[in-house]
């Protein structure tokens, strides 16, 4: 397969999915990706900004991923297309099959059967229907511009959106909603029912009945916004308590659907419902490993042998690493050793991000992390207790709540469980809480 054939296939897929053919920038992005060019080079070639081209690229990968039912991005486009075409060309007649169902992208529904199909000479005039394609509504989903391999640590939103092309054939409907504007449960349910009830002959009265009659994947992101700040983790804001009942109902009643919740704080009913043989599971994302080096490579940092130290200090968090890499480039011309030579851990723009998280803590949690930040080594709960004026139950609740926010790290030492803070939070707490007074 050469790039011209790949462009022809991509053009077919785009046309089938959106009714429009590839524009010249999209073709140029595909050519560039085929030749392993950087977005910067493609941007220069097209006299556009790198950001503009990256955004166009992201939309294109999302579209092709949905159309092919496979996860496609810039670095995998060539291999996936070559592999896909090899496995879909039948010996008898070079028949390329493209998804044939309804696809709803960013709120616009295209019924491919209604769209006149442009077919290349390489494709069959009468393609067989393919594996099912779900209805998708990702209109609310953020755009993720760059991806690096490695599932050991990835942002919650990024990982979930990345997962969709891989599992979409399992579902009839997939819907992503961010709760960042705090919709009431009623508003959310009405919105979900509207989406999953399209084209159904019988109107079903409740969401749970829709979830029984179809297989749906509902992704609710930014759940923490419906929890009360400055209280222990997972307390719903007044008026939002019914979300808890809804999650419990979904976990305990029988239906065919799945719900993915993305949150800074674990809802308390979920903590009580999960277990090995139970339908409710939680996944705590760890940071990226060595693959985070791609972030540094892109930011042109020097001294690759020191990168693992940085990844460890910032716990492989891709967003933090991006911010820190920018700072290293801006202040030290990319020299990692110069950055590391200072005794303090620089936070820079990270400080405001950490502030958003720490500002949600209750008073007792603040006391615990302030004290932990002053300890050089991980400590047992009894030692925390001896040094703070908190009742035993208030202390245990505070430590448990910090665990549900993933703000403290547990360290096993023989039989004992010790607690500590991540280096970044130690630095933040020292700067913020301890400077007062």
Ligand X SMILES: Nc1ncnc2c1ncn2[C@@H]1O[C@H](COP(=O)(O)OP(=O)(O)OP(=O)(O)O)[C@@H](O)[C@H]1O
Nearest distance in Å: CB 333, ligand X: 23
Q: Does 157 bind Mg ion (CB under 5 A)?
A: yes
Enter the tokens of residue 310.
């940085």
Choosing from 146, 213, 309, 431, the residue that interacts with ligand X (CB under 6 A) is 146
Q: Which is nearer to ligand X, 82 or 298 (CB)?
A: 298
Binding residues for ligand X restricted to 252-271, rule: CB under 6 A = 264
In contact, 98 and 119? CB cutoff 8 Å: no
Residues 335, 13: Cα–Cα separation, whole Å: 45
Binding residues for ligand X restricted to 266-325, rule: CB under 6 A = 288, 318-319
Q: Does 155 bind ligand X (CB under 6 A)?
A: yes
In contact, 364 and 397? CB cutoff 8 Å: yes
Nearest to 312 by CA among 423, 230, 386, 417: 423
Nearest to 84 by CA among 60, 67, 68: 68
- The residue range among 39-47, 153-161, 265-273, 307-315 that interacts with ligand X, by the rule CB under 6 A, is 153-161
Nearest distance in Å: CB 318, ligand X: 4
For 275, list phi and psi in degrees, rounded to 5: 175, 165
Bridge pairing between strands 416-421 and 408-413: antiparallel
Q: Which is nearer to ligand X, 291 or 375 (CB)?
A: 291
Return the residue nearest ligand X (CB atom). Answer: 155
144 binds, among Mg ion, ligand X, none (CB under 5 to 8 A by kind): ligand X
Choosing from 156, 169, 306, 315, the residue that interacts with ligand X (CB under 6 A) is 156
SS3 state of residue 221: strand
Residues 63, 57: Cα–Cα separation, whole Å: 10
Q: Does 158 bind ligand X (CB under 6 A)?
A: yes
Nearest distance in Å: CB 319, Mg ion: 10
Choosing from 157, 213, 228, 308, the residue that interacts with ligand X (CB under 6 A) is 157
Enter the tokens of residue 337.
């050793």
Q: At what angle do helices 50-68 and 39-46 cross, to 10 degrees?
A: 110
Nearest distance in Å: CB 147, ligand X: 6
CB atoms within 10 A of CB 50: 14
- The residue range among 64-72, 153-161, 307-315, 335-343 that interacts with Mg ion, by the rule CB under 5 A, is 153-161
Nearest distance in Å: CB 45, Mg ion: 33
Nearest to 167 by CA among 215, 123, 202, 124: 215
Q: Does 212 bind ligand X (CB under 6 A)?
A: no
Nearest to 250 by CA among 158, 157, 185: 185
Choosing from 9, 154, 216, 223, the residue that interacts with ligand X (CB under 6 A) is 154
Q: Which is nearer to ligand X, 13 or 261 (CB)?
A: 261
Task: Catalog residues that contact ligand X under the rule CB under 6 A.
Answer: 144, 146-148, 154-158, 264, 288, 318-319
Task: Catalog residues that contact Mg ion under the rule CB under 5 A.
Answer: 157
């Amino acid at each position: 397969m050469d790039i011209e054939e790949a462009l022809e296939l991509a053009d077919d897929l785009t046309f089938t999915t959106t009714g429009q053919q590839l524009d010249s920038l999209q073709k140029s992005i595909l050519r560039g990706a085929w030749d392993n060019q950087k977005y910067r080079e493609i941007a220069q070639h097209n006299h556009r900004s790198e950001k503009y081209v990256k955004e166009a690229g992201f939309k294109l990968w999302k579209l092709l991923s949905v159309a092919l039912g496979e996860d496609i991005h810039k670095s995998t486009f060539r291999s996936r297309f070559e592999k896909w075409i090899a496995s879909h060309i039948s010996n008898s007649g070079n028949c390329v099959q493209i998804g044939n169902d309804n696809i709803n992208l960013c709120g616009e529904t295209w019924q491919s059967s209604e769209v006149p199909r442009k077919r290349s000479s390489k494709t069959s005039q009468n393609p067989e229907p393919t594996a099912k394609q779900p209805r998708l509504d990702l209109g609310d989903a953020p755009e993720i511009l760059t991806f690096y391999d490695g599932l050991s640590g990835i942002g919650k939103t990024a990982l979930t959106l990345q997962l969709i092309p891989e599992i979409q054939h399992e579902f009839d409907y997939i819907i992503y909603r961010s709760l960042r504007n705090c919709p009431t449960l009623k508003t959310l349910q009405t919105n979900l029912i509207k989406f999953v009830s399209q084209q159904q002959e019988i109107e079903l009265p409740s969401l749970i009945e829709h979830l029984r009659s179809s297989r749906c994947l509902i992704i609710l992101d930014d759940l923490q916004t419906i929890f009360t700040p400055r209280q222990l983790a997972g307390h719903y804001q007044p008026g939002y308590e019914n979300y808890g009942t809804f999650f419990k109902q979904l976990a305990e009643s029988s239906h065919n659907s799945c719900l993915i919740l993305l949150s800074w704080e674990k809802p308390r009913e979920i903590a009580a419902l999960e277990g090995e043989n139970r339908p409710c599971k939680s996944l705590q994302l760890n940071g990226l490993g060595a693959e985070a080096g791609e972030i540094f490579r892109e930011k042109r940092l020097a001294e690759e042998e020191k990168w693992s130290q940085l990844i460890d200090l910032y716990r492989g968090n891709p967003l933090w690493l991006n911010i820190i890499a920018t700072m290293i480039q801006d202040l030290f011309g990319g020299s990692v050793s110069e950055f590391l030579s200072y005794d303090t851990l620089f936070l820079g723009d990270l400080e405001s991000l950490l502030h958003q998280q720490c500002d949600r803590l209750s008073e007792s949690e603040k006391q615990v992390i302030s004290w932990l930040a002053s300890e050089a080594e991980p400590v047992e709960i009894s030692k925390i207790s001896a040094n703070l004026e908190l009742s035993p139950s208030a202390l245990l609740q505070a430590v448990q709540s910090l665990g549900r926010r993933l703000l403290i790290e547990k360290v096993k030492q023989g039989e004992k469980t010790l607690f500590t803070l991540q280096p970044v939070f130690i630095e933040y707490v020292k700067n913020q809480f301890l400077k007062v007074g």
